[in-house]
Structure 1
Amino acid sequence: MKICVAFFTKQYLYKLGIFEFSLRGDAVIQFLKDMCKKPGIDCTNLLTTFTGPNCCLSPSIVNIFLDHEPQSTATKNMIHLSQMIRQGTIAMFDYMNIDENTRHYGRPTPPVYDMTRIPNSLPLYLSYGGADALSDVKDVQRLLETLDDHDGDKLVVQYRNDYAHADYVMGENAKRDIYEPLISFFKLQ
């Protein structure tokens, strides 16, 4: 992920008025589907490239994935994500212009989000995976450090060493391992 961020130049697209970041095109999707049908090609590896080594995906899920992914997002979202990864902070969007930052924030640089302002009584259920390339374990640990004072019965942390990013959405056992405990937690709140 850090390599992708280092080469991410979408801020130039944003300045040119291109506000949607999308890798989804009919030709790209058809190419991927055709490639995944070839004997000996396991397209779960395609997901692994972006998400980390998923433990719990059925090979048949890849076609369903390709019917719906990759989703587009705002170019500004991608710029913001890359800024935070490059700088190692959880800060507001940097307009890369002192006047713009001052107009938005009343200061020349964007403020860092103050995670300690999350109310201690707010129910939080955090689940993360040790193999997730998009939600780094170290980053989650940094977040958890800011939540040290959170009410114990209002914070549940679930760590799955074997889970990568796509396992949470498409894993064969995600309903049982992730979503049922999550729903039970919120029913108690």
Structure 2
Amino acid sequence: MVVRGWLINGVIIYIASLVSSEVQELYHQENAAVPPSICSGDLSFTKGYRCVDYNVITEDGYILRLWRFHEGRTKESRKERKQPVFMQHGDGRCWFAVSHADQSLAIQLVEQGYDVWIPNTRGTTYSQQHVSSNITYSSEGYWDFTYSEMATYDLRAFLNFVYLETGQKVHYIGHSQGTTMMFAAFSEWKVEERVKSAVMLAPVVFLNHMPFGLTYALAKSYIGVRKPIFAQYDYGNPATNMEHYGVPEPPPYDLRKIPKDFPLFLIYGGQDLLSIREDVHILLNKLRSHRIVRELYIDNYAHFDFLQGITAKDVVFPDIVGFMQGID
């Protein structure tokens, strides 16, 4: 099967449609023109911010876009040496799907003096290219990837790039897919060499309690979620799994590889249909031996409220900043 990546994005879009109609506008139909970069100032509230647009090439040849906001409108945002913050969702524009600048976590972090980096993973609006002329956005070969490639190649390429540019480890803020990528990455490479802490908004690791049947069926059939474990893609039969992994069952991601003193902050909501409270508790139980794990539960928050909720600037953003300041 070579269309796994397309199906991953398709399921994400479908889930998003259940919880936020605005998010659908962030994704384009195939062959539609790529919209201008955020750095071009196409959003009114990003004008006046110093923004740089980079291309980052992964080890397997995907050309990915990375945005950097490192100067805003306040005096604090113009200080010389700043702490970098890396904000991973999937499509970077999700961090700006709000009506006003004070509702955007990314913009608020810039104004408070952080050096904000926003990536766009493979297959999303701004990352549709490959170094090979034979692998195009409309070809099946382009979409032959899973979350494992995003965690192993995309995330590592982005974080290495930021480290080379700044000489500093980042604070990581992930939402939804961005949390899945980070937890998987810990099992694949030494994330702690590039990251000093991680804030996980609406973490998606275990899907044992997903309440809606169609989306779970899609996840089970196409993303490879066949058992209540956090593992690599399940090809559906032992022979194919053997071909790819050398074992008949897909290898689980080993959460024990997360250093016990690595600071984690999990934030989740009671109305979330994807990051279910009971599933987050399974994750927290897996992390019970870690020394620095903080959690924040907001009963009336759904999946995209952490990005788009009008109260997030009051009930979520201050806790994130306080967590990072406590580490710095």
TM-score of the superposition, structure 2-length normalised?
0.37
Partner of 2:319, secondary structure, is helix
1:169 Cα deviation after fit: 1.1
Match of 1:50 in 2: 18
2: CA distance between counterparts of 1:76 and 1:168? 25
Partner of 1:157, secondary structure, is strand
Partner of 2:320, secondary structure, is helix
Matched ranges for 1:109-188 at <5 A: 109-151=249-291, 154-188=292-326
Give the letter for the 1:156 counterpart.
R
**CA deviation map 1:60-94 (0-9, x unaligned):** xx5x545325877668457577532x422211111
Matched ranges for 1:32-71 at <5 A: 50-51=18-19, 65-69=23-27
Q: Which runs of 5+ in 1 are unaligned?
A: 1-13, 24-46, 55-61
- Kindly indicate whether residue 51 of structure 2 is the aligned counterpart of residue 83 of structure 1: no
1: CA distance between counterparts of 2:284 and 2:254? 13
**CA deviation map 1:104-143 (0-9, x unaligned):** 3221111222222211111101000011001011110000
Give the letter for the 2:18 counterpart.
F
Give the letter for the 1:185 counterpart.
F
Task: Check whether the contact 2:223–2:233 (CA below 8 A) recurs between aligned residues.
Answer: no
1:103 Cα deviation after fit: 3.2
Partner of 2:297, secondary structure, is strand
Alignment counterpart, residue 6 of structure 2, candidates 14, 20, 33:
20
Task: Check whether the contact 2:269–2:277 (CA below 8 A) recurs between aligned residues.
Answer: yes
2: CA distance between counterparts of 1:168 and 1:128? 8
Partner of 2:224, secondary structure, is helix
Compared CA separation, residues 174 and 94, structure 1 to 2 (3 A)? same
2: CA distance between counterparts of 1:155 and 1:186? 13
Q: Flag the structure with more relative contact order, 1 or 2, with Cα contacts below 8 A and sequence separation at least 6.
A: 1
Compared CA separation, residues 19 and 181, structure 1 to 2 (3 A)? closer
- Structure with a larger share of its residues in helix: 1
- Kindly indicate whether residue 237 of structure 2 is the aligned counterpart of residue 97 of structure 1: yes
Identify the range of structure 1 (166-175 vs 100-109) with the bigger mean alpha-carbon deviation.
Answer: 100-109
Task: Check whether the contact 1:132–1:163 (CA below 8 A) recurs between aligned residues.
Answer: yes
Q: CA RMSD in A?
A: 3.2
Partner of 2:316, secondary structure, is helix
Percent identity over the alignment is: 29
Task: Check whether the contact 2:231–2:252 (CA below 8 A) recurs between aligned residues.
Answer: yes
Task: Check whether the contact 1:115–1:143 (CA below 8 A) recurs between aligned residues.
Answer: no
Compared CA separation, residues 65 and 101, structure 1 to 2 (3 A)? closer
Task: Check whether the contact 1:50–1:134 (CA below 8 A) recurs between aligned residues.
Answer: no
Task: Check whether the contact 2:233–2:250 (CA below 8 A) recurs between aligned residues.
Answer: yes
